[in-house]
Structure 1
Amino acid sequence: MFKIATTGLSSLPDADSFALGESGQKLLNQFCFSDEWAGNLSSGLFRLGETAAAMHGLRQPECGLLNLVRCYDNADRDHVFRLFEQAATTSSSFCFSTTIMLTSGQKQPVFCIGESSGLAQRYSGSMLGVFFFPRFQLETKGRIFSHHS
């Protein structure tokens, strides 16, 4: 899934109407964990939260777009890259899902929701978003076949 929209999140109903109660937050935490990220379009650098950086295999929380998408599934990398490029040229909201290839050989699903803004002047603006990581991992096809052999 790779989606981008030129309408901002602010066009949705009041954010308070979507606020999760304590039980909703517990339920969300049971199924996934999340971490924030931000991008500075004038420098081209992204800053990930500690958990997101670790999940992406990064030693530092700050990186460029190429380093960010390097761990993504090969089939999705170009789509994600183009999505970020498009969001960097027009203020927009976007989302994508892919998998991160872990050193263990398993795949970690990841969902990303973000928004770009402040693009009125060339080489300016920012992005802000959140990564969601489901609390499970997928096995690669080779590993699945080896379990059933």
Structure 2
Amino acid sequence: MFKICKSSVDEAFDASHNATDESGLDLINRFSMAEGWVGDLANGVIRLGEYAKALHGVDGPECGLLSMMRCYETQDRAHILGLFEQAATTSSSFCYSTTIHHGDGRRQPVFCIGESTGLEEQAEVGTMAGVFLFPKFKISAAALARLA
């Protein structure tokens, strides 16, 4: 994903500020919203946090992968589904980025980093866990059209 848009971050960047003095967590919180998620491979349920639930447009904190992905870029869905399918068969790490489409024309970039574990042990049921990073800006439909 490569996008640029006019900044709408609440806290403007101060050029005199030395960002290298901030911790990684401070910088993540300044430029994005981070929220964890977990998946149960026994039943295919993904549990989202409140922010991710709202941005993905799902009703409850638990949903299936296809329900979560329905707001993603159409051309990205098959690739993301393939990542999850691979991670569901072998303990592994994965990441993806796409854009969430809202009904009002806004777009929200999203980055996901995750891992699956417990798939090699016979007594264990596999799980997935990860984090969503939502940059603190949204892309309007008009701005997106200018970028195309």
Give 1:123 shift: 9.5
Counterpart secondary structure, 2:79: helix
| Whole-Å separation in 2 of the counterparts to 1:109 and 1:145 | 12
Alignment match, 1:116: 116
TM-score, with structure 2 as normaliser: 0.77
Q: CA distance change for structure 1 residues 77 and 66 in 2, over 3 Å: closer, same or farther?
A: same
Alignment match, 1:128: 129
Alignment match, 1:62: 62
Give 1:95 shift: 0.3
Q: Structure 1 regions of 5+ residues with no counterpart? A: 2-20
Give 1:23 shift: 4.5
| Whole-Å separation in 1 of the counterparts to 2:56 and 2:49 | 11
Number of equivalent positions: 126
What one-letter code is carried by the residue in structure 2 that aligns with 1:66? Answer: L
Contact residue 47 and residue 63 of structure 2 kept, 8 A: yes
Q: CA distance change for structure 1 residues 126 and 104 in 2, over 3 Å: closer, same or farther?
A: same
Identity score, percent: 55
Q: Deviations over 1:9-62 (max 9, x none)?
A: xxxxxxxxxxxx974433221100011100000011000111111110111010
Contact residue 28 and residue 34 of structure 2 kept, 8 A: no
Give 1:93 shift: 0.4
| Whole-Å separation in 1 of the counterparts to 2:108 and 2:145 | 19
Q: Structure 2 regions of 5+ residues with no counterpart? A: 2-20
Give 1:124 shift: 3.0
Give 1:139 shift: 2.8
Alignment match, 1:16: none
What one-letter code is carried by the residue in structure 2 that aligns with 1:99? Answer: T
TM-score, with structure 1 as normaliser: 0.77
Alignment match, 1:78: 78
1:103 is the counterpart of 2:103: yes
Give me the CA root mean square deviation: 2.3
Contact residue 42 and residue 123 of structure 1 kept, 8 A: no
Q: CA distance change for structure 1 residues 130 and 122 in 2, over 3 Å: closer, same or farther?
A: same
| Whole-Å separation in 2 of the counterparts to 1:81 and 1:122 | 26
